[in-house]
Amino acid sequence: MSLAAVLGVLVLIYVSNRLVRFLAEAAAGQLASDAILQLLALKAIGHITLLMPLALYLAVLLGLGRLYRDSEVVAMSAGGIGVRRLAQTIVGFSFLFALLAGFLTLYVSPEIAVIQETLRKRAEQESTIAAIIPGRFKEVGGRDRVLYVESVDRDAGLLHNVFIESPGGRGRDVLIGSRAYQRVQGPRASRYLVIEDGYRYAGRPGDADFVITRFATHAVRLDEGDTGGYLKAESIPTAELLGSNDPRRLAELQWRFSLPLSVLILGLLAVPLARTSPRQGRFAKLFSAVLVYFVYNNALGVARKLVERGDLTPLIGLWPVHLFVVAMAAALLWRHSRGRWDLRGLFRRGGAGV
């Protein structure tokens, strides 16, 4: 129950944060409002794996903290169930949770990322058309590009009598067409404004050597600042990441394996960190435990960035961070058990420990 409650609260916090961002983008005309709920659901499903390690960690801290507060751990120790048996139980449960996190991270999340990117591109496409007001100049696609349309058929997604002025190779380009519509194409799902039956004027204002070209169809890319699209690392299937020599892909692969691994490590670490005296209360060490989590998570993020940029060899990668936290958990467990067992005792049946 504690795990479900903690995970539910974390998901609610994340969804609320994303909802505010999506509403801001919709108010700015960057996103179609009818796609917000779909994007929100996909975001929550795709990022639940990021919340699972923290949810298990907090659930174990709260659960064991209550046992310590009520002196239940003391009673269990008197009955032969000590720290080692307690840690074995937590690690066993964490292993099952890690299997679920690994399946979601390695197989489900990349598919969700592709669906989300496709939906977002369509929502951006619809918002661009919806935000155009006939008879007014509007900046679109960045790069100092200005669009003017005489009329808009929103049902058909068509713009009539289109004027576009933007920077070009010869100075400035002016495109005039009888109609236009948006299209998403290419491996990066780039957005284009396709203009039909028009003219292109290329040159510098004040010069007499303008080049005039008549065209039947001319496409203008609207999202030239977007270089991600479908090739974002989180959208690549795990099978394609295996065996790759690209540092960006290797960093993503190690990050995906790190999420289920961190479930196991945090579950183990929560056992000694949850230890409190009855007078301290169940929340006495919660702040320090959460601080340890954020240091651990941020260290993984820093190591991931270093691998992506090629500043850290993938052979080292994120693994030293995990090893350090495992060593810290083992040291804390050894200290709390007064040195009468080591980390290998977690995987041996029997033995009470203190």
Closest CA to 165 of 201, 132, 219: 201
What predicted TM-score, i.e. pTM, was given to this entire model?
0.67
Q: What pLDDT does residue 347 have?
A: 47
Q: At what angle do helices 286-308 and 319-336 cross, to 10 degrees?
A: 160
Within 10 Å of residue 277's Cβ, how many Cβ atoms? Answer: 10
**How confident is the model at residue 257, as a pLDDT?**
94
Q: Of the given ranges (2-6, 118-122, 236-240), which has the lowest mean pLDDT?
A: 118-122
Distance CA 241, CA 222 (A): 30
Q: Indicate the CATH number of 142-224 among 2.30.30, 1.10.575, 3.40.720, 2.60.40.
A: 2.30.30
3-state SS, residue 93: helix
- Please give the Cα distance from 148 to 133 (Å, whole number): 9
Residue 30 has pLDDT above 50, yes or no: yes
Distance, CA of 148 to CA of 132 (rounded, Å): 9
Query: Would residue 137 be called left, alpha or beta, if left means φ above 0 and alpha means ψ between -120 and 50 degrees?
Result: beta
Residue 41 has pLDDT above 60, yes or no: yes
Q: In the prediction, which pLDDT does 258 show?
A: 93
Integer angstrom CA distances of residue 297 from 117, 242, 258: 25, 23, 10
For the chain, give every domain's residue range: 2-126+231-347, 142-224
Check residue 346 and report its DSSP letter: G
Is the pLDDT score of 207 beyond 80? no
Q: Residue 324 pLDDT more than 90?
A: yes
pLDDT of residue 145: 79
* pLDDT number for residue 227: 44
E strands, the chain, where?
137-139, 146-153, 158-168, 171-185, 190-203, 211-221
The Cα–Cα gap between 20 and 270 comes to 33
pLDDT tens digits along 62-73 = 888 777 776 666
More confident residue, 224 or 106: 106
Give the H/E segment covering residue 354.
none
Q: Which of 294, 341, 323 is nearest to 88 (CA)?
A: 341
